[in-house]
Amino acid sequence: MSEAYGAQVDGTTTRFCVRSPRAGAVQLCLFADGRETRIPMQHDGDDWCASVPQDCTGLRYGYRAEGSWAPERGAWFDPAKLLVDPYAVELDRRFSFDWSLSEFGVDTAALVPRAVVPPALPDVAPAAPRFTPGGLIYELNVRALTRLHPDVPEALRGTVGALAQPAVIAHLKRLHVAAVELMPIVAWIDERHLPALGLANGWGYNPVAPMALDPGLVPGGLAELRATVAALHAAGIGVILDIVLNHTGESDVLGPILSLRGLDDAAYARRPDGTLVNDTGCGNTLDFANPAVRRLALDTLRHFVRRCGVDGFRFDLAPVLARGPGFDPQAPFFAELAADPWLADRVLIAEPWDCGPGGYQLGRFPANWLEWNDRFRDDVRRFWRGDEGLGMLATRLAGSSDIFGEGSGRSINFLAAHDGFTLADCVAYAERHNEANGEGNRDGHGENFSWNNGAEGPSDDPQVGSRRAADLRALLGTLFASTGTIMLTAGDEFGRSQQGNNNAYAQDNALTWIDWERRDRALEDYVAGLAAWRAARTEALARLAGPCEWRRLDGRTMTAADWDDPATTGFELLGEGYAVRVDRARRQMELTPP
């Protein structure tokens, strides 16, 4: 096995190395002055390597692999296909879907992005993560957040560099954001049905090579990401990357041949009976029982820490990382990650479910991992909708000990995320409205525990508007009062709407771009006040320690019977340094000094 994959510049020599166990031959393809130069690579075990006697920094390159064409055996070898280096870190263009990417014998050099040999960057000095559990994580889509921001220079809008702008950082500071969580910023390809609908994937959960930054989001490459992380760190804000290591955008057997598939799909994807396993719902599933797949994943994480200084990662469909094939809480990937000197102290966040058998694994990740707690989301929504009791709300407020155990602090409490209704839409729509996605409104979650307050969608009725405003404040107050880490998705602090679309991945347009000019400033002020309250409570708890007291709204101590009594519509939680008052009958959630 090679010591280093990808393109490595060493003085006047550049070494290229790629893994392709079953290939009969692999060629390095260099692109310069409009010409492609092919260089045969030397076979070394499972690897193919070539040395070029020059500093190739900035040069474009790719690979072509020869071998049998037998998709039923995981062999998609076709020398007509230009392949992206799995270890590429920069590309010269974005991916664009075309059916010829799947057709045998059709040359794709004009279609597939070329990797760019990156400039040498020294490691970022090791430092402890800026984020610690208990703070506020702000989930954001880089393009959607800044595309329409009036205080960001137009040339930077929609890019990672925009996050370093003073206006953006000032907004984050006002909300006491402890870390931003960037939705995928590595290059992805559209799902094959989208171009015909005139749509494009705007979320990025369909990557090809896990380290290759998207040229549209990060036109300045590694240097841009590195500088943005440094600027956010200087403001006391951590950076968490949303990473997709569970599948590639090469999809199912009809999908494009872009990288791993053309190099040797059977060496990367799970296919125990010859059929691609689809535990991800995306057509294929990377095999984390395979040491080479784990190495690619760990090298990816280490790359973003060493070169850019990121504080941690959120893992999409994280049970895949521990499948072999079933979920194993003691999976090798967890142990290898914990033993890595660059990664052991990073913030690790699991989306603790996938689409495969036994895919729901909330509460079963290692003790140092945080987990997205969808039970918090659903139970809190159900409480304020009126179909969940006080006892469950109290459990969620106190950190979900029924799931994570007492005092674990592993819950990430959230009310809405990129996937699903926005928070404002939760109180304005009882049903999903995904017609714009072109799938007959069949896509997206059918049960959202949402309610419309008497009118579906926009309403001029002042009573409907008043109820929605009260419900939003009650929901947000519950989030900020909860024990554990909390997560807010960008724009929910000022009432963004997606017009009832709860699966807006294909809406890279005004439906998802945040309209800063028309935001609900009163709601934004309210959330800023909640953030200040939470920060003050955290400071008080650091100085004071004492038990909480649960009281009825009439001041008497809550009893077991009170928790189960439907007539009990609220409670007070008193602690040292804070107080919380819940009154569902009045649609109120008050956070006050004790």
**Which DSSP helix (H) or strand (E) runs through 474?**
helix 462-481
Instruction: Find out whether the peptide bond into 325 is cis, omega within 30 degrees of 0.
Output: yes
Residues assigned a catalytic role = 316, 351
Q: Cα–Cα distance between 478 and 581 in angstroms, integer? A: 10
349 and 370 Cβ atoms separated by less than 8 Å: yes
DSSP string, 450-462: ---TTSSS----H
- Phi, then psi, of 95 in degrees rounded to 5: -75, 150
Output DSSP code: residue 384: H
Torsion, Cα 574 577 583 584, to 10 degrees, reads -110
Alpha carbon 344 to chain centroid, angstroms: 20
Query: Burial, 45: exposed, middle or buried (Cβ in 10 Å; 0-12, 13-18, 19+)?
Result: exposed
Which long-range contacts does 187-190 make (Cβ < 8 Å, 24+ apart)?
Answer: 187/91, 187/94, 187/95, 187/113, 187/212, 187/213, 187/214, 187/215, 188/95, 188/214, 188/249, 189/95, 189/96, 189/97, 189/249, 189/256, 189/258, 190/95, 190/96, 190/97
For residue 171, what are the CA distances in angstroms to 233, 292, 495?
15, 42, 15
Order the strands of the 570-575 sheet from edge to edge. Answer: 549-551, 570-575, 578-583, 588-592
Q: Cα–Cα distance between 579 and 586 in angstroms, integer? A: 18
Taking the alpha carbons of 112, 355, 418, 160 in that order, is the dihedral positive or negative? negative
Longest CA pairwise span in the chain (Å): 82
Output DSSP code: residue 122: P
Amino acid at 549: E
Amino acid at 421: F
Q: Cα–Cα distance between 88 and 115 in angstroms, integer? A: 6
Amino acid at 425: D
Q: Cα–Cα distance between 336 and 91 in angstroms, integer? A: 29
For residue 115, what are the CA distances in angstroms to 88, 307, 311, 476?
6, 18, 26, 44
For residue 61, what are the CA distances in angstroms to 4, 12, 87?
17, 17, 12
530 and 518 Cβ atoms separated by less than 8 Å: no
Number of residues in the chain: 594
